[in-house]
Structure 1
Amino acid sequence: MDALTDLLRGVHARSATLCRSFASPPWSLRLAPTAVLTVVVVVGGDGWLHAEGHEPQRLTAGDVGFVRGRTRFVLADDPATPPQADLARDDCARWARGTRTYGLADRGDTTVITGSYEVDGSVPHRLLDALPKAFVVPCADGPCPALDLLSEEIAKDRPGQDTVLDRILDLLLVFALREWFDTRADAPGWYLALGDHVVGPALRAVHDEPGRAWSVADLAAVAGVSRALLAKRFTALVGAPPLTYLTEYRMDLAAALLDEPGATVDAVARAVGYGDGFAFSTAFKRVRGVRPSERRVVAVRV
């Protein structure tokens, strides 16, 4: 398993609220998202994404914009157009299952679609933390089938439509993030390392079996190189030595497991490769700053 696949497993569209808005210039929609990640698409026209604290970014047909966290933003035909509607506050009419349509006009030159993603556990935050608060992924290779499918399916009302729309949003996220990281010189080290013939196999091995008692020698054998070469190259590309990365990743997994109902410290310790709760608690406290039992109390209260 590669790191991107592993991290994406916790980011899902679940009964996502999709807003479809029709607009003709001048138009401007203001949004205050509550989801961990919001996707914005301009269909059949173009527009601007202006997120709080960022310069306006242009969205042309086929581009996909993302806004992370509770960053307020405006979608408009022009950055100078003042907001005409607040989709976080205004009462949008219910349209189909899990979908809302807000009409600035009965029909418009531009269709704007927004959707949301939620996150399970702590692991995906390694992915989300590598993203800007707001960014636009251009559809560089021509037609974007996922966008075309979303535009088509959002207009339907058929059995299972919630699931269909959620899966399309998930697919759109994978395509967009892969394109984003592939074209960024500042992509996170763990992503760039996946294509490296030395570090890639070791990194995949860690994500395949995080609970295994890995040593640098074991990971070097997987990569087919010496321990010294793996340690040097892994640290240079990923930004941390192999066993440090393994420990940090295990603690991400552990934090997610501790949030599950009925989880015990001993069970979580075994799941992430520790023989006893004491050794696990020591490692967790060193990385996370609190003991697992303290984290568990907070998780239960939340």
Structure 2
Amino acid sequence: MDPLTHFLDGPRAARAFALSMQMTAPWGITVRDNAALTVLAVTSGQAVVDGALLTEGDVALIRGPEQYEVTDTAASTPTIDIGPGQQCTTVDGHDLREDFRHGVRRWGNAEDGETTLLVGTYARRDEAGGLVARALPRLAVVPREQADHTLVDLLVREISQDNPAAQVVIDRLLDVLVITTIRRWIESSERSTAPTWLTTTDPMVIDALELLHAAPEAPWTVESLARRVNTSRASLAARFRTSVGEPPMAYLTRWRFTLASDLLQTPDTTVAHVARSVGYNNAFSFSTAFKRHLGITPSEFRHHRPLLSNGISEPNMHPTRSAFIPID
């Protein structure tokens, strides 16, 4: 299994918030809904997201939970506020939900504005996939020429109708659109900002990554990994560091705790099960290592999960170590 497959095996929308937004200039919105991930596609007109201009056909992924601004031009000042639970008001608190509602999943300051945006959100980080939520940049834009317009059109059509099981279809289409957009972003001119472990072309390193990802619980050493990819320990270590940016075992440690962090966000998964899944014989040794690397215990991490999904800052991690996935 290639590294990108592991990265993308995450988005699982569950009753995702999705709508078609119709706007006529001038307009500006501050979004502080605390969503883990937002998909925004410009289907007509243009929009500026935190200073980046998006034109018709562009698709963007916005990593939360920090607030961001969407406006018609860079010079526009937001007058609309979207808060937690998709509560929509003016900046002085007037409720706009009914004023801006124009039918099934259609919303905006005009029924037929010159700018139309498709918006879909993953409310919680575990829905978006922890790897996605942590490894993407704040804003990833795929230009019109590389975006998947077929998926966007299908999602727009489903959003505009009230068919049976529409929410299930919207959730699955949104997942596929996110995955496709990430793939196109990695392939695009923005490739240089993607994590090197996703974009490496060294076949030996790809084989090594596949082995580590497929069996993170195995008692790997550099020697055993080198044997599996038919090379010497020194050659693997050198090529792995060049491609990934760190030694194989350092990467494996990070990967294990990234997976563990995701598993801990599932309420019915025990710490002991998580420990075994990432290569620890018992919950005690896993908890000790988890705290050493992340600065808090697994139980404390799990306790903070509701705060993370509601946009409150993550707990303080160890200041000299990356808490999650290795990114450039």
Q: Same fold (TM over 0.5)?
A: yes
- Pairwise CA distance, 1:162: 0.5
Equivalent pair of 2:11/2:178 in contact (CA under 8 Å): no
Amino acid in the other structure paired with 2:35: A
Match of 1:180 in 2: 185
Letter in 1 for 2:192: A
Aligned to 2:52: 57
Show the counterpart of 1:166.
Answer: 171
> Which 10-residue stretch deviates more, 203-212 or 217-226?
217-226
1:149 aligns with 2:154: yes
TM superposition shift of 1:237: 1.7
Q: Does 1:67 align with 2:59?
A: no
Range that drifts further, 197-206 or 99-108: 99-108
Gaps of 5+ in 2: 90-95, 309-328
Letter in 2 for 1:82: T
How far apart are residue 3 of structure 1 and its match? 2.8
What does residue 233 of structure 1 align with?
239
Give the alignment partner of residue 137 of structure 2, picking from 128, 132, 144: 132
Structure 2 distance, partners of 1:279, 1:23, is 55
Tell me what 1:9 maps to.
Answer: 9
Where in structure 2 are the equivalents of 1:204-223 lying within 5 Å?
204-223=210-229
Taking the aligned partners of 2:54 and 2:164, their CA distance within structure 1 comes to 32
Q: Contact 1:17–1:100 at 8 Å: present in 2 too?
A: no
Change (3 A) 1:48 1:294: closer
The change in CA–CA distance for 1:278 and 1:21 in structure 2 (over 3 A counts) is closer
TM-aligned CA distance change 1:268 to 1:129, over 3 Å:
closer
**1:296 CA drift (Å):** 5.4
Select the residue among 189, 197, 221 that pairs with 1:190.
197
Gapped regions of structure 1 (runs ≥ 5): none
Amino acid corresponding to residue 32 of structure 2 in structure 1: A
Structure 2 equivalent of residue 285 of structure 1: 291
Structure 2: distance between partners of 1:268 and 1:163 = 29
What CA deviation, in whole Å up to 9, does each residue of 1:127-151 have, x standing for no partner?
A: 4333332342213247621112122
**Helix, strand or coil for the counterpart of 1:207?**
helix
**Distance in 2 (alpha carbons) for counterparts of 1:171 and 1:289:** 35
Give SS of 2:65's match.
coil
- 2:321 is aligned to none
- Work out whether residues 106 and 160 of structure 2, in 8 Å CA contact, stay in contact via their aligned partners in 1: no
What amino acid maps onto 1:111 in structure 2?
T
2:281 is aligned, of 275, 281, 290, to 275
The equivalent of 2:37 in structure 1 is 37
SS in 1 for 2:105: strand
SS of 2:161 mapped into structure 1 = coil
- How far apart are residue 301 of structure 1 and its match? 10
Tell me how far apart the structure 1 counterparts of residues 111 and 242 of structure 2 sit (CA, whole Å).
Answer: 56
Stretch deviating more after TM superposition (10-19 or 145-154): 10-19
Aligned pair count reads 293
Counterpart for residue 73 of structure 2: 78
Whole-angstrom distance in 2 between the partners of 1:87 and 1:258: 30
Q: Cα–Cα, structure 1 residues 48 and 291, in superposed 2: closer, same or farther, change >3 Å?
A: closer
1:101 paired with 2:93, answer: no
Give per-residue Cα distances to partners, 1:269-288, cap 9 Å, x unaligned.
22222223444334223212
Residue 242 (1) aligns with residue 237 (2): no
Seen in structure 2, the aligned counterparts of structure 1 residues 172 and 275 have a Cα distance that, compared at 3 Å, is same
Amino acid at match of 1:35: A
Matched AA of 1:45: G
Task: Give the letter aligned to residue 291 of structure 2.
Answer: K
CA distance 1:191–1:112, shift in 2 (3 Å): same
Report SS of the residue matched to 1:185. Answer: helix
Match of 1:110 among 115, 118, 122: 115
